[in-house]
Amino acid sequence: MRRICIYPKDIARITGKSYRQSLRIYNTIKKIRGKQPHQLLSMEEVCEYLGLDKEQIKTVI
């Protein structure tokens, strides 16, 4: 079974940015989406924000 949630470490792996920058991106997406602190981000939400194809990200994760 594949994961459906994304963590800052995954964003760092996808974008090549540092963990700290990826954490900022992660929190920005959560803020835009109106998520609460305990809620996670889905792969679709991250793909939409970064403008990437979901299939491309699946190969990296």
Predicted model pTM: 0.87
Contact (CB, 8 A) for 55 and 7:
no
Query: What are the start-end ranges of the H helices in 1-61?
Result: 8-15, 19-33, 43-50, 54-60
Residue 13, pLDDT above cutoff 70: yes
Beta bridge partners of 41: 6
pLDDT grade, residue 57 (50/70/90)?
Answer: confident
Query: Measured between alpha carbons, how far is residue 8 from residues 2, 45, 52 in Å?
Result: 17, 13, 16
pLDDT at 2: 77
pLDDT at 36: 94
Structure tokens, 28: 């920005």
